[in-house]
Protein backbone atom coordinates (compact mmCIF):
# COMPACT_ATOMS: atom_id res chain seq x y z
CA UNK A 1 0.00 0.00 0.00
CA UNK A 2 1.35 3.34 -1.02
CA UNK A 3 1.71 5.36 2.12
CA UNK A 4 0.53 8.73 0.86
CA UNK A 5 -2.94 7.27 0.64
CA UNK A 6 -3.24 7.59 4.37
CA UNK A 7 -2.61 11.33 4.35
CA UNK A 8 -5.25 13.21 6.21
CA UNK A 9 -7.09 10.09 7.29
CA UNK A 10 -4.90 8.96 10.14
CA UNK A 11 -6.32 11.39 12.67
CA UNK A 12 -9.84 10.09 12.09
CA UNK A 13 -8.72 6.51 12.55
CA UNK A 14 -7.00 7.30 15.83
CA UNK A 15 -10.03 9.17 17.12
CA UNK A 16 -12.27 6.25 16.17
CA UNK A 17 -10.10 3.85 18.14
CA UNK A 18 -10.06 6.12 21.17
CA UNK A 19 -13.83 6.35 21.04
CA UNK A 20 -13.95 2.80 22.31
CA UNK A 21 -11.61 3.42 25.20
CA UNK A 22 -8.24 4.82 26.28
CA UNK A 23 -5.18 3.55 24.49
CA UNK A 24 -1.45 4.22 24.45
CA UNK A 25 0.60 4.88 21.32
CA UNK A 26 1.94 1.41 20.88
CA UNK A 27 -1.52 -0.04 21.42
CA UNK A 28 -2.91 2.23 18.74
CA UNK A 29 -0.35 0.93 16.27
CA UNK A 30 -1.35 -2.64 17.14
CA UNK A 31 -5.06 -1.97 16.85
CA UNK A 32 -4.64 -0.28 13.48
CA UNK A 33 -2.70 -3.28 12.24
CA UNK A 34 -5.19 -5.80 13.61
CA UNK A 35 -8.37 -4.10 12.51
CA UNK A 36 -7.10 -3.33 9.02
CA UNK A 37 -6.05 -6.94 8.41
CA UNK A 38 -2.40 -5.87 8.37
CA UNK A 39 -3.03 -3.19 5.73
CA UNK A 40 -1.95 -0.48 8.12
CA UNK A 41 1.42 -1.23 9.68
CA UNK A 42 2.43 2.22 10.77
CA UNK A 43 5.86 3.17 12.08
CA UNK A 44 6.08 4.95 15.40
CA UNK A 45 7.39 8.03 13.66
CA UNK A 46 4.01 8.33 12.06
CA UNK A 47 1.73 7.64 15.00
CA UNK A 48 3.42 9.53 17.82
CA UNK A 49 3.55 12.85 15.99
CA UNK A 50 -0.09 12.33 15.08
CA UNK A 51 -0.95 11.95 18.74
CA UNK A 52 0.94 15.12 19.66
CA UNK A 53 -0.93 16.90 16.91
CA UNK A 54 -4.27 15.69 18.19
CA UNK A 55 -3.40 16.68 21.72
CA UNK A 56 -2.24 20.15 20.68
CA UNK A 57 -5.52 20.50 18.81
CA UNK A 58 -7.45 19.54 21.95
CA UNK A 59 -8.98 16.43 20.43
CA UNK A 60 -7.36 14.08 22.92
CA UNK A 61 -5.85 14.28 26.38
CA UNK A 62 -3.01 12.20 27.72
CA UNK A 63 -1.79 11.00 31.09
CA UNK A 64 1.54 9.37 31.64
CA UNK A 65 1.34 6.21 33.70
CA UNK A 66 3.64 3.30 34.30
CA UNK A 67 3.11 -0.39 33.62
CA UNK A 68 5.66 -2.86 34.89
CA UNK A 69 8.27 -0.19 35.36
CA UNK A 70 7.88 0.95 31.77
CA UNK A 71 6.42 4.40 31.13
CA UNK A 72 3.21 4.63 29.22
CA UNK A 73 1.30 7.59 27.88
CA UNK A 74 -2.40 6.85 27.69
CA UNK A 75 -4.63 8.87 25.39
CA UNK A 76 -8.31 9.59 25.82
CA UNK A 77 -10.85 11.11 23.46
CA UNK A 78 -11.81 14.64 24.51
CA UNK A 79 -15.07 16.37 23.71
CA UNK A 80 -13.69 18.38 20.74
CA UNK A 81 -12.25 15.13 19.44
CA UNK A 82 -15.67 13.55 19.43
CA UNK A 83 -17.01 16.45 17.41
CA UNK A 84 -14.10 16.15 15.01
CA UNK A 85 -14.73 12.44 14.71
CA UNK A 86 -18.34 13.02 13.73
CA UNK A 87 -17.25 15.44 11.03
CA UNK A 88 -14.56 13.02 9.88
CA UNK A 89 -17.07 10.23 9.44
CA UNK A 90 -19.29 12.46 7.33
CA UNK A 91 -16.29 13.57 5.27
CA UNK A 92 -15.20 10.00 4.79
CA UNK A 93 -18.58 8.90 3.48
CA UNK A 94 -18.64 11.74 0.98
CA UNK A 95 -15.04 11.32 -0.01
CA UNK A 96 -15.05 7.56 -0.38
CA UNK A 97 -18.26 7.43 -2.36
CA UNK A 98 -16.97 10.12 -4.71
CA UNK A 99 -13.69 8.29 -5.28
CA UNK A 100 -15.43 4.96 -5.75
CA UNK A 101 -17.79 6.49 -8.27
CA UNK A 102 -15.00 8.03 -10.32
CA UNK A 103 -12.82 4.93 -10.17
CA UNK A 104 -15.72 2.82 -11.35
CA UNK A 105 -16.18 5.19 -14.26
CA UNK A 106 -18.61 5.58 -17.12
CA UNK A 107 -21.46 7.54 -15.53
CA UNK A 108 -22.20 9.24 -18.87
Partner DNA sequence: CCGCATACCTAGCGACTCTATGCATCGTGT
Partner DNA sequence: ACACGATGCATAGAGTCGCTAGGTATGCGG
Long-range contacts formed by 52-59: CB under 8 A, 24+ apart: 53/11, 54/11, 54/14, 54/15, 54/81, 57/84, 59/11, 59/15, 59/84
Residues between 2 and 31 that touch a copy of itself (CB under 8 A): 2-9, 12-13, 16-17, 19-20
Residues between 69 and 88 that touch a copy of itself (CB under 8 A): 88
- Which residue's CB is nearer to DNA, number 8 or number 21? 8
One residue of 30, 36, 41, 82 binding a copy of itself per CB under 8 A: 36
50 interface partner picked from DNA, a copy of itself, none, CB below 5 to 8 A per type = DNA
* Number of Cβ within a 10 Å radius of residue 81: 24
The partner residues of 77 in beta bridges, in order of sequence, read 60
Closest contact distance (angstroms) between CB of 48 and a copy of itself is 19
Amino acid sequence: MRSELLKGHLDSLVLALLEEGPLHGYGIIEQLRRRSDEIFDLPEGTVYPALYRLERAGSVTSTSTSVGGRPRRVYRLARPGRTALDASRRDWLQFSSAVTKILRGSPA
